[in-house]
Structure 1
Amino acid sequence: MSTPLYRVKADFFKTLGHPARIRVLELLSERDHSVAEILTDVGIEPTSLSQQLAVLRRSGLVSSRKHGSTVIYSLTSPEVAELLRVARSILTGMLSEQAELLQDLQEPLAATKDRRTARAGRRTRRTA
């Protein structure tokens, strides 16, 4: 019995579910990087980075090659970079909608504060 496609997709997105892995993929979307370069930019312990890179390699999202004593990582497909761009676009839209909602929620508060300030100013002038 084969695994349903939705489960395979869920496992794929679980692979993307770690901030360090996303950051590594973002870096590799720009260009190939050595482990040392990735380590500097991601800012996690070397053992943790090694684990995250292993997860990405096992999932087939990245590949590695040796250049002398240096290990260089790259994306296995430009579609990974495209996926990250699409995710950024979706998040931008979601956050824009939330910002608009926040603004709508704050407008009545601002108007109420303005009215209170105006009333307080009138009372101060009357008592002076």
Structure 2
Amino acid sequence: MTSAVACDDSATSSDDQGRAAVIKSDFLAVLANRQRMHILFLLIEGECSVGELMQELRETPVGVSRHLIILRDNNIIRSRRCGKSVRYSLTCPRVAQMVKALSDICCDKDAEQTCSLGELELVTS
């Protein structure tokens, strides 16, 4: 799944809406991973290196890199070299808005601003 996520949402015809639905569905499929969502929450706060992400995620370098590659290949994050380190950031402000919206939907704002997706009850039909 390597479709690019565009920040432009100007679909008007039925075909365009169908293509937009595929792109949005692919985007959500990429995000449907706990570690990748955690990475995005961290990147909302600012750029991070692989080492910083490893520490926060308690993940191996290979594991973090695998998630970063998926996010980068789908144009959700970008990387830039900074000396010997590589720094990662979000590509589009809309990604941050969407992740924050998910947080607002899934998390109890009266709690200590902590989010536990494990406590979220999902209803399927």
TM-score using structure 2 length:
0.68
Q: RMSD across aligned C-alpha pairs, in angstroms?
A: 1.7
The match for 1:28 is 43
The match for 1:83 is 98
CA distances 1:38-94 after superposition (whole Å, capped 9, x unpaired)? 11001112111111000000010100011111010011112211111111122237x
Q: What SS does structure 2 have at the residue aligned with 1:4?
A: helix
Question: Greater helix percent: which structure?
Answer: 1
How many aligned residue pairs are there?
93
| Distance in 2 of aligned mates of 1:60 and 1:34 | 17
Rg (Cα) greater in structure: 1
TM-score using structure 1 length:
0.67
Structure 1 residue 42 corresponds to structure 2 residue 51: no
| Distance in 1 of aligned mates of 2:104 and 2:45 | 17
| Distance in 1 of aligned mates of 2:47 and 2:94 | 15
Structure 1 residue 92 corresponds to structure 2 residue 107: yes
| Structure 2 unaligned spans of 5+ | 1-14, 109-125
